Structure 1
């Protein structure tokens, strides 16, 4: 994955889009008696193939002036050789760095200039994709740039470039696997599930040893074999002229030579001849976790649809056998995760239980056997089957709510089947699943069949593992100072340019500038005082809305921190009129999702539903809000779940960093410095009466705001709220006054020890500005080149692209009515902890004097041009409405910000940098291995480091 800090959730290209609901949240299904999904569940497309074999798919969507461009190569880790694993993913990284015609920085630099969403990509076992959304005037530029990947790239890969990118990928592995709780689970399972010569035996990211051993000749061989037009799909989705786009595709791609014929790989399921039990003492785990995996079938196999239904039924609701047995009856865990995970060649049915602290996994396994026995006795009812099927429609519309999502869907089906429209076949097969099918696939693939079981337990707690387990073979890297060679990829590569029939050295011009229309916002206030703002949006037949009730953690009492969180979670566990099961089922009957959650400054009710079911969904929201059940049994379950979350946070380096950084920048007396979950002590002290008291005192329409986006007119929405306005009575709620930032203290290094950490987590910053401060948005503009601009930012260019110290680094300003923090966040390899901090310090010190007119121009271009994408998704529109209602901003505030950007000057940026980006006034928090890294931190040049506990 190129993206950071969070991964792009297109990694599996919506894997079968609709059939796949693996490990989904509980409230995700629909109405059994409702009309079934109809022919509208499809994505229209045009497809043609160039003489060189390139498949090209067009989808027209005029709703926003943007275009998604998706280049998908049908090559993933399954095409690698043993001993050279991780190549497909390594290529995903390399292809962003440079090409003959884009030059150094390649697509990343161009993205910043054109206002793109960020050139991104992901790698799976079967494919690698490169994708982003850009304003429509940049389409020719993107087609030109993507063609360079296939015809004008490989000469730019030199030994220094390869050496540096190996380090970046190894940092990604450390961050996502080696330094993460339970990170090695999939590695252990796949080694046992697939024979050594099976292409799924190894992980997509590869091994550190294989990555280190990769040679330049290996890399070039891999590229020339797989990155050829006849192994690639190009999808363009959005607002464009298909006739002109075809001419551009032919102009830039047609002369690229076809590669050798592609041989399809045989479908090959995993093999487990007898049950395999493996155990690992996990340095970052606080809770024992049992994972079981059975070999099943590949993507699009006729049985894959029934297996998905089986997984969802067994675990996803309060009616599910596994929830009833493991969670409610035996009280061994807060939840059970289950899913049938399919890929092109094989699949695996996965069951995961993270048990409560100290629970033996033998007890969990016995409970799993009871849950399977319960299913064997009772089976699945037609009602449950219809409920699961009915979730199809909502999930589909969510998956195609952006042009990027649609491009991924079309590309996936094209490389799997040759037919981008295969989506309709997937829907048909899912709707055809019967209760007999569900029982048949259970009997065929699960019942009595051998499986792989992994027990990941806290270090020193091997006794909790399954009896009869062997030690898992997990390779753990040792932290050795100076183990990595320094790299310098800055030198320009010397190579003979690849010839072309056209002049590719000049970037194509922009097309006509897109017309950016700010969505029309309607605004009203109910009689009970709640403000309601909305946007009508009929791109998909969904409605999304939320109700933000100010308070949240701010209103927790210091000795009872965690009440707001517990209360919010309990509100969806039944109502006065419905049991927890009945409420859950009523929500799912409507194809709806209703969640209630607490945040630092509010409690939110978030809702997604089909537009035709909006009124019935709103009735349930009103019932949840106004008629809580206060179920003692559910309270006990939630409380135990929260205690487990708190325990696990103690061992997760990023969570440790976030919690301690909050304490340092806010100070112990500010509620925002506290963990919203509370502490073990505070949660144990909370009673259900505390939740009732919070509810009675603080949930009032006088401090509530509702935001609505969807396929309903204003009049329909406002009429629907009459009952809520009448029944939800207003009362005064005393919210804490807004807090300005205190004067920054002198810089200090703080260190939290995580023994044997493979990475150090950095959190650097201080409490800076409120979102309402006149300097807030100008400070965001100032930060763009520092660390807010993704791969265009200086911190990324220096620490990742220049040195290979990190997988990702970013900086940001956050705030509300009260001052929030400026934060620099990164995970760096352990043995360059000091060097990374020193480089961050140097970048900050030099930023005011080195910020240039070209930097300001890049910033202006991005922040103005990216407004073409500002309102594409419902989430973006809801965020806009939230800002309007919370801060009193005008509906046109995006245009106001555009004017601010255009008016900013170089001296102003330099002045803001000196004022708000001063490293001598920041907290420097390091979470890492103290025995190897703490002594070195004295060299950072601040006072003696302070060691703090977790």
Structure 2
């Protein structure tokens, strides 16, 4: 999760009112009428409680945050805070094993979740407002009635889950070890940021039950925890519930806050790593800076954005436009509680010597020193920060996160006003000063991540970084039985906590009012007025995308979409970017398999100006030759990176198996290296002239402006954008296989196998589509409530996550089960999936049906909370031809569903013997084993060279 001091950057002063422990009101000065009200109080046991009331939607978010992360771990037990985060979801004395996930499903919650950083761990969920007491009861059980339920088998299983998460997020992805190498080099061995939050596989394996109990008893105490409740609730009632369920939890020992520990380097360190999955060399330079909320951190934030973002940025001018060594530069200032770091990262084009990149970085810094940053650029950056701030407030959970963050790290939920003032007070002199203080001529960490066998590309003088990589050994993991029930003496309470509290008053669920209009040129408009925050968010979706490409020009839609952002007839790329950024707006153009989309997020007060820029981009593309070549290199770079990413490889191979290699539906939206190389500007113009038409376009808009304003604003676009006939080709013919086959794509030394299992299935217009979605909920569509997750993750520890879905639009659809499993249980995982599908209908119970119904009906309370959710509703209606009341119609389907119907649908659509079984993994250890699945000899899809040692 991005740190909130980087998200909450706003060019405004927000009024805040707070009720402190003494119940005294404090107010900040205000330059707007926007406010975030909160109430804070503390229980006798030290628990901090923060309330924020927001009745705009019938939902409430509950977030429990402990002031403990990886920085509070012991050496040799790295990754323990994150492991512990997982454990708290599994069981508690009064909810029972898996009780939180089961309750989350019944009440229609967003799914209990959590995250761990260096300095805090949080647990959160958004639920319909009638479930608030249930959530307070459940969160209290985590804190006071949990630790006895952790057994050796439970711990052994969850170790495997977390190790799978590390394999998936670090070991089995390109550049996954970069943060590890930097952390070890930047921070001394005894510094709490020396190790990664995820930890090491060895340390995770060494964690003991005694470690768990010690960790819990020290850190998970009320006086180290903040509870935030945000949303539609009555504070007096909520306060009585908080006191009832949390009051008797005992206060822990006093916890001494850690002092800030910024670091200095006595020398520059230069390291390299040969990356098994990388196809491009990557150079990262990292400097130590200051902790979050320190004065200089704000100027460093501005510095990173100014240097790297946009056409005008010095790093873009030198590295992208001039030297042409990369298509993109990433730069950030990352401030944590104890220290901070500033980094620039460049993923260069294939075969680029990273010494050349390092020289270009020095040149870019020199250019900045000479030119500095202007007041206009500083204001431009702040304008974007304002929009980002409002976007972060679009959900009650987002508001809750902010309040918790400030309470823990600034000791005041109202620190938001200080935070904003600190941002507003940054001057151009501050930006130059922090550059001189922390970056210029300062020692830093240099890391070169290069493809296997290409050490010569590393920065000269680099020494080999120490990276531990796991061997793939069958049967290497310990056996466990996580189903064993723990035996313990129950923790006493002053009242019976074993019964789940009742629901409150059921929320009234109303679908947002939708307006509709069609312009004279055929452009359709669907909109929802929403005044919660002063934003407007809209998309213009043009049907076609990849589907209308000439097969000789694969990737034309994506290429053309990228060019629409590269200037207009009247503006260069730089001038267009400046105009957008000056408004604090975001305009993104992209293509998918079946549409081209212009997506816009802007302050309501700047809507007209943002729309004018969209019109200019849409109707007057610049077709700049230099930008064309830069975009071409960028797309080729992306394609080469995809070749090394097991998940991207799996998606592409799966699409070919679903639709056949000749179908346009199976092709990569980016095209191929050959097709992109051959592309000309004239090819893009031809695509644009033939396919970009209002006759096949729709505008979906949500925001703080009425229908009349939106419709009237489009008069110019209606007149200037002429309609033309666009023919969308018929849907590709794709039939389910008559028998199952196993297909294997070799990625040597892959630490996980990526699984894609399924077949071409229903479209959204098929009568069985939504009933099949309902049927799938308990299979793999219900997160932790699903059988696939309960069996493969919770029961066996094979995976970090697994899901199944019916994915469809009005033209095509498929059923897919997808997961990443540890390599040495590839066969066992597929066997388990096969068994679950085979028995799903037979084993489906009335209780399963009631859980399904409860979730699908109650979750509608939060289905329209955010701008994104409302846009999704409009897109379902406008792009898939659904009626405006389709939500209500689907509710009736759910209400009338029976167990027998589920069994019938399961038999019809879940036949494991008529599916594609794709495995992307290590052939040397897993290919031969897959014969045992029972679908004949696996079919090898590629021949890979042996990876060099």
TM bracket (short chain): over 0.9
- Distance apart, 1:887 and its partner CA: 2.4
In the alignment, the residues of structure 2 paired with residue 939 and residue 349 of structure 1 have an alpha-carbon distance, to the nearest angstrom, of: 51
2:283 corresponds to 1:283 = no
- 1:362 and 1:467 in contact (8 A); partners too: yes
Kindly provide the CA deviation profile for residues 380-402 of structure 1, in whole angstroms up to 9, marking residues without a partner as x: 11111111111121111000100
- The correspondence for 1:260, drawn from 239, 248, 253, is 253
Residue of structure 1 in register with 2:724 after alignment: 731
Structure 2 residue runs without a partner (length 5+) = 12-28, 944-949
Residue of structure 2 in register with 1:838 after alignment: 831
- Give the 3 Å change call, closer, same or farther, for CA 514–286 of structure 1 in structure 2: same
Kindly provide the CA deviation profile for residues 588-630 of structure 1, in whole angstroms up to 9, marking residues without a partner as x: 1111100110001000000000001101110000000001100
| 1:50-61 mapped onto 2 (5 Å cutoff) | 50-61=43-54
In the alignment, the residues of structure 2 paired with residue 680 and residue 233 of structure 1 have an alpha-carbon distance, to the nearest angstrom, of: 52
- Distance apart, 1:485 and its partner CA: 1.6
- 2:9 and 2:389 in contact (8 A); partners too: no
In the alignment, the residues of structure 2 paired with residue 84 and residue 943 of structure 1 have an alpha-carbon distance, to the nearest angstrom, of: 44
Kindly provide the CA deviation profile for residues 708-758 of structure 1, in whole angstroms up to 9, marking residues without a partner as x: 000000000000011111110001000012346424331000001111111
- Distance apart, 1:185 and its partner CA: 0.3
| TM-score, scaled relative to structure 2 | 0.97
In the alignment, the residues of structure 1 paired with residue 780 and residue 197 of structure 2 have an alpha-carbon distance, to the nearest angstrom, of: 28
2:364 corresponds to 1:371 = yes
The SS at the match of 2:436 is helix
- Give the 3 Å change call, closer, same or farther, for CA 552–660 of structure 1 in structure 2: same
| TM-score, scaled relative to structure 1 | 0.97
- 1:570 and 1:630 in contact (8 A); partners too: yes
- The correspondence for 1:314, drawn from 295, 307, 311, is 307
| 1:189-228 mapped onto 2 (5 Å cutoff) | 189-228=182-221
- Distance apart, 1:517 and its partner CA: 1.1
In the alignment, the residues of structure 2 paired with residue 295 and residue 393 of structure 1 have an alpha-carbon distance, to the nearest angstrom, of: 28
Residue of structure 1 in register with 2:531 after alignment: 538
Residue of structure 2 in register with 1:18 after alignment: 8
- The correspondence for 2:77, drawn from 69, 73, 84, is 84
- The correspondence for 1:465, drawn from 441, 444, 458, is 458
- 2:68 and 2:119 in contact (8 A); partners too: yes
Kindly provide the CA deviation profile for residues 331-351 of structure 1, in whole angstroms up to 9, marking residues without a partner as x: 000010001001000000011
Root-mean-square deviation (CA, aligned residues, Å) is 1.2
Structure 1 residue runs without a partner (length 5+) = 1-10, 22-35
Kindly provide the CA deviation profile for residues 631-676 of structure 1, in whole angstroms up to 9, marking residues without a partner as x: 1111100100000110010110000001100110111232110000
Residue of structure 1 in register with 2:473 after alignment: 480
In the alignment, the residues of structure 1 paired with residue 612 and residue 234 of structure 2 have an alpha-carbon distance, to the nearest angstrom, of: 44
Kindly provide the CA deviation profile for residues 813-847 of structure 1, in whole angstroms up to 9, marking residues without a partner as x: 11112221111110000000000010000100010
Residue of structure 2 in register with 1:117 after alignment: 110
Residue of structure 2 in register with 1:561 after alignment: 554
In the alignment, the residues of structure 2 paired with residue 114 and residue 343 of structure 1 have an alpha-carbon distance, to the nearest angstrom, of: 36
Residue of structure 1 in register with 2:146 after alignment: 153
Residue of structure 2 in register with 1:626 after alignment: 619
In the alignment, the residues of structure 1 paired with residue 7 and residue 680 of structure 2 have an alpha-carbon distance, to the nearest angstrom, of: 42
- 1:486 and 1:803 in contact (8 A); partners too: no
Kindly provide the CA deviation profile for residues 277-298 of structure 1, in whole angstroms up to 9, marking residues without a partner as x: 1000000000000011000000
> Which stretch of the first structure deviates more once superposed, 689-698 or 387-396?
387-396
Residue of structure 2 in register with 1:930 after alignment: 923
In the alignment, the residues of structure 2 paired with residue 667 and residue 917 of structure 1 have an alpha-carbon distance, to the nearest angstrom, of: 21
In the alignment, the residues of structure 2 paired with residue 820 and residue 801 of structure 1 have an alpha-carbon distance, to the nearest angstrom, of: 29
| 1:819-830 mapped onto 2 (5 Å cutoff) | 819-830=812-823
| 1:365-404 mapped onto 2 (5 Å cutoff) | 365-404=358-397
- The correspondence for 1:878, drawn from 867, 871, 874, is 871
Residue of structure 2 in register with 1:163 after alignment: 156
In the alignment, the residues of structure 2 paired with residue 565 and residue 724 of structure 1 have an alpha-carbon distance, to the nearest angstrom, of: 23
Residue of structure 1 in register with 2:295 after alignment: 302
Kindly provide the CA deviation profile for residues 405-461 of structure 1, in whole angstroms up to 9, marking residues without a partner as x: 011010000000110111111110101100000000000000000100100000000
| 1:608-619 mapped onto 2 (5 Å cutoff) | 608-619=601-612
| 1:411-490 mapped onto 2 (5 Å cutoff) | 411-490=404-483
Residue of structure 1 in register with 2:42 after alignment: 49
In the alignment, the residues of structure 1 paired with residue 778 and residue 262 of structure 2 have an alpha-carbon distance, to the nearest angstrom, of: 48
In the alignment, the residues of structure 2 paired with residue 69 and residue 222 of structure 1 have an alpha-carbon distance, to the nearest angstrom, of: 23
- 2:526 and 2:878 in contact (8 A); partners too: yes
Residue of structure 2 in register with 1:342 after alignment: 335
Residue of structure 2 in register with 1:324 after alignment: 317
- The correspondence for 1:788, drawn from 781, 793, 796, is 781
In the alignment, the residues of structure 1 paired with residue 64 and residue 572 of structure 2 have an alpha-carbon distance, to the nearest angstrom, of: 49
Kindly provide the CA deviation profile for residues 467-499 of structure 1, in whole angstroms up to 9, marking residues without a partner as x: 000000000000011100222100111111000
- The correspondence for 1:409, drawn from 402, 413, 416, is 402
The SS at the match of 2:250 is coil
In the alignment, the residues of structure 1 paired with residue 826 and residue 385 of structure 2 have an alpha-carbon distance, to the nearest angstrom, of: 47
- Distance apart, 1:20 and its partner CA: 10
In the alignment, the residues of structure 2 paired with residue 235 and residue 127 of structure 1 have an alpha-carbon distance, to the nearest angstrom, of: 14
In the alignment, the residues of structure 2 paired with residue 114 and residue 878 of structure 1 have an alpha-carbon distance, to the nearest angstrom, of: 24
In the alignment, the residues of structure 2 paired with residue 740 and residue 457 of structure 1 have an alpha-carbon distance, to the nearest angstrom, of: 42
In the alignment, the residues of structure 2 paired with residue 182 and residue 15 of structure 1 have an alpha-carbon distance, to the nearest angstrom, of: 26
In the alignment, the residues of structure 2 paired with residue 856 and residue 184 of structure 1 have an alpha-carbon distance, to the nearest angstrom, of: 44
- 2:658 and 2:734 in contact (8 A); partners too: no
The SS at the match of 2:7 is coil
2:800 corresponds to 1:807 = yes
In the alignment, the residues of structure 1 paired with residue 405 and residue 7 of structure 2 have an alpha-carbon distance, to the nearest angstrom, of: 9
In the alignment, the residues of structure 1 paired with residue 70 and residue 30 of structure 2 have an alpha-carbon distance, to the nearest angstrom, of: 35
- 1:41 and 1:424 in contact (8 A); partners too: no
The SS at the match of 1:334 is strand
In the alignment, the residues of structure 1 paired with residue 195 and residue 34 of structure 2 have an alpha-carbon distance, to the nearest angstrom, of: 36
The SS at the match of 2:36 is coil
In the alignment, the residues of structure 2 paired with residue 834 and residue 15 of structure 1 have an alpha-carbon distance, to the nearest angstrom, of: 45
- 2:10 and 2:389 in contact (8 A); partners too: no
- Distance apart, 1:196 and its partner CA: 0.4
- The correspondence for 2:517, drawn from 524, 528, 531, is 524
The SS at the match of 1:825 is strand
The SS at the match of 1:474 is coil
- 1:17 and 1:409 in contact (8 A); partners too: no
Kindly provide the CA deviation profile for residues 672-710 of structure 1, in whole angstroms up to 9, marking residues without a partner as x: 100000111111111111100000000000000110000
Residue of structure 2 in register with 1:752 after alignment: 745
- Distance apart, 1:41 and its partner CA: 5.9
Residue of structure 2 in register with 1:859 after alignment: 852
Residue of structure 2 in register with 1:185 after alignment: 178
In the alignment, the residues of structure 1 paired with residue 300 and residue 5 of structure 2 have an alpha-carbon distance, to the nearest angstrom, of: 14
In the alignment, the residues of structure 2 paired with residue 409 and residue 740 of structure 1 have an alpha-carbon distance, to the nearest angstrom, of: 49
- The correspondence for 2:508, drawn from 510, 515, 518, is 515
- Distance apart, 1:237 and its partner CA: 0.2
Residue of structure 1 in register with 2:262 after alignment: 269
Kindly provide the CA deviation profile for residues 50-89 of structure 1, in whole angstroms up to 9, marking residues without a partner as x: 0000000000001000000000000000000001111110
- The correspondence for 1:491, drawn from 484, 489, 499, is 484
- Distance apart, 1:264 and its partner CA: 0.7
